[in-house]
Structure 1
Amino acid sequence: MEFTPQEKRSESLDAIRGLAISLVIARHYFGFKYGMLGVDLFFVLSGYLIGGILLDSRDRPGYFSSFYGRRAFRILPLYWLLLALLPPAHWGYYLIFMQAVPWLQFGFSQSDLTFVTWTLAIEEQFYLVLPILIYWLPRQWLGRILWGGILLAPGWRWLFHAYLPDQSWQFLLPARLDELFGGVLLACFARGYCRSVIGWAMLAFVPPLCDIAYAATAEAFAFLSVTAFACCLIVWLGANIERPQLFRPLIWPGRRCYSLYLFHMVVYDIFFDLGRPLSGFVALPVVCLLAEISWRVVEAPLINYAKRRFARAELTPLAMVGSAGRH
């Protein structure tokens, strides 16, 4: 099955979102050991979807305004609501998604209910970089830069682990580039950017081998490149699956994953004294109800408004000729 750019918001990819948020909630509510793999899956999926959107619209008028306008209406309202309900220390950094600055100074407050925003900070910093790369770089240089970020990611993690406090190697953008850029490369591959499948496959195995080699010679602290590789396979299979209806139970949480992610720890904290797993079983229907209300009252209306307000303009014949010459 082939997907047009509009169809790439497919039920199968929504189901992958549902799987990702289900893993995260299972981790926090029921102590599922491998639940944080959901975060890795989110990063790869974000790279794939956002990369695809930007690649398809790189030559259209309103490239930047359309992208950032839609992202702002999607992300900021609920994010600012969370900060208003639970004002964190150093909240000014949170407003501009730079909360890692005080965390590096005073420690990573992983018990804070707003700490879940570390993933949003990475995503927003990624959104600042990627549109510029895709807009300005020719096709061959875009691929090289993306591969450069992926191949350097294990090195960044090793440096952060050695010289920065706490678990900085998990929570800073350079350490997650193999997941984010890996998703973008999948989008590039789907659009014919790959000249050598064998060459790309050989490069893809380098970061996981680096992680394995480091684990064999020193204290093992991360296999994020191995995880990124596995998540890329999952996203690629999900994007090309023939029967997405098999994953229908995951579509509902997938489309409401943003509010589920932002507020699941807030709800859990209310019932924390009940103890695990009882508190998880009580909190789960409550956060699902809140997510449904949020989707119907806040998210879906704002998404629809942003689509109308920041509609992507079509290329004129003259602009198509110019873009063909540029690329």
Structure 2
Amino acid sequence: MTLSLSTDIDTPPVPERELPAETVPTSPSNAGPILRPRSYYPALDGVRGLSILGVLLFHFYGHYHALAATLPKPLAYVCRLGQTGVDCFFVLSGFLITGILLDTRKQTHRARNFYARRALRIFPIYFLTVLVVYGLFPGFFGTRYLVPYQLWLWTYTQNIGTTFHWCPDFGHFWSLAVEEQFYLVWPPLVWFLRTEKKVAALCLATIALALGTRGVFAAFDQFPAQFTLCRVDELAFGGLLAVIGRRVTSRAQWTAATLGMVAVILLLAVPLYFLESGKGSPLVQVVKFDMRAGLFAAAIAVVVGATSTTWWNRLLMVGPLVWCGHHSYAMYVFHPFIMSACEKVPVPGSTVTADVGRMSLATVITLGMAWLSWRFVEAPFLKLKRHFLE
């Protein structure tokens, strides 16, 4: 799987707003680019909230348990679709982080500020979780067999080790490794290229690189969905959207670009659906992440290109969705371990009833732990970001 994020929050992946920001106006304006420097789009918190809820739905109810086999087909499909929340997180991360890098490229201490703020956002919860789950209580969480390999986690390289069979699969942590590697490499490239046109070319080249990498693996019947070079195109799609939004000044052009993106993807996806089928298709495995990324990029474009008074943005800004968006990083980090612990809880009744009870308990505990994490760990560290603004 996977999750970063537009407020001072990140996710499973984890982007956020790095600068003092101004909320976008409620009425459209034709002055300046569609995406204004340092703007904050509240509806993106709702997008993040939907993404993390999709991931939880997939893992808790639609994947591992007897419950999944008993769901009506439409509901089972929705649960399976939840796994694409990770794809949305990647696109959102690329969009927000590339925007931050473009907006801060002239700052004197841009590198210090960026990396310090990223570390304050990501490291506390991540390393605390690794310490507890793999260092202090591996027996309780069923991770004892992974303890000898935990160096991969401490260095954010677990996805590489898993891809080449150098270590066991660490589950959802792979996506955090992809994002961290992106945060390490992407900023110097954007700052070196400087101009938006060159950064756009970088995004397109990155998309082509990922497609080519997946093609090479597919030629050997390998489909490593966790390898950075096989997923970085989704982050690049978000980056490309950030560049386009800083150059387009007409809402008509922005709408045309969004519709064009959707049209191209659908024109490719529809015949592909009928010509190829399922996981066994190498062609599907090569192109599917770009199709998902393109659709999510178009959705994000619709959100940021509209005013906050549109019905879809108002829906995305409802309290529970925004709350989940704000707490999505901790929810993403914690939820598999909470699920593992809850699976040991004895629940009377049929297997399906027991699964419903355990996963409902896991959902409640995940939300509660995310709140505690924010209150006592994340928020105190985030207060230190004020030292790394300019």
Structure with the larger RCO, 1 or 2 (CA within 8 Å, 6+ apart)? 1
Per-residue CA deviation, residues 228-261 of structure 1 (Å, 9 max, x unaligned), is 1111111112223423442213100100000000
Q: Which of 287, 305, 315 is the matching residue for 1:246?
A: 315
- TM-score normalised by length of structure 1: 0.83
Q: Residue 310 of structure 1 corresponds to which residue in structure 2?
A: 388
Partner of 1:182: 237
Shift of 1:295: 0.6
Q: Could you list the runs of 5+ residues in structure 2 that have no partner in the other structure?
A: 1-23, 26-34, 63-78, 135-145, 348-353
Q: 1:29·1:268 contact (CA, 8 Å) conserved in 2? A: yes
Q: Which amino acid aligns with 1:134?
A: V
Question: Normalized against structure 2, the TM-score is what?
Answer: 0.71
| Identical pairs, percent | 30
- Report what 1:97 is aligned to: 156
Structure 2 residue aligned with 1:287: 366
Query: Could you list the per-position Cα deviations for residues 198-237 of structure 1 after superposition, in whole angstroms to 9, with x for gaps in the alignment?
Result: 8998788778877777773684243222111111111112
Residues 213 and 282 (structure 1 numbering): CA distance in 2 closer, same or farther, change over 3 Å?
same
- Map of 2:47 onto structure 1: 16
| Corresponding residue of 2:343 | 272
Q: Which amino acid aligns with 1:100?
A: N
Letter in 1 for 2:44: L
> Bigger CA drift: 19-28 or 175-184?
175-184
The CA RMSD measured in Å over matched residues stands at 2.8
Q: Which amino acid aligns with 2:56?
A: I
Matches of 1:211 and 1:158 in 2, distance apart? 18
Q: Distance in 1 between matches of 2:228 and 2:260?
A: 24
| Cα pair 1:178 1:225 within 8 Å, conserved | yes
Is the 1:154–1:210 contact (alpha carbons within 8 Å) kept by the matching residues of 2?
no
Q: Distance in 1 between matches of 2:228 and 2:221?
A: 14
* More moved, 152-161 vs 127-136: 152-161
Tell me which residue corresponds to 1:106. 165
Whether contact under 8 Å (2:51, 2:85) holds in the other structure is: yes
Write the deviation string for residues 157-194 of structure 1: whole angstroms up to 9, x where unpaired.
222233375x41x1112222331011011111111179
Matching of residue 56 in structure 1 with residue 103 in structure 2: yes
Q: In structure 2, how many angstroms separate the alpha carbons of the residues matched to 1:109 and 1:102?
A: 8
Which residue type is aligned with residue 341 of structure 2? I
Task: Deviation per CA, 1:1-49: give whole Å up to 9, x if none.
Answer: 55643332x3201111101100000001111111111000000000011
Q: Distance in 2 between matches of 1:271 and 1:203?
A: 42
Q: Does the residue aligned with 2:39 lie in a helix, a strand or coil?
A: helix
Moved more, 21-30 or 127-136: 127-136
Q: Retained in 2: the 8 A contact 1:29–1:279?
A: no
| Cα displacement string for residues 291-318 of structure 1 (whole angstroms, at most 9, x for unaligned residues) | 001111111121121x212122xxxxxx
Aligned 8 A contact 1:90 1:102 in 2: no
2-side partners of 1:5 and 1:232: how far apart? Answer: 19
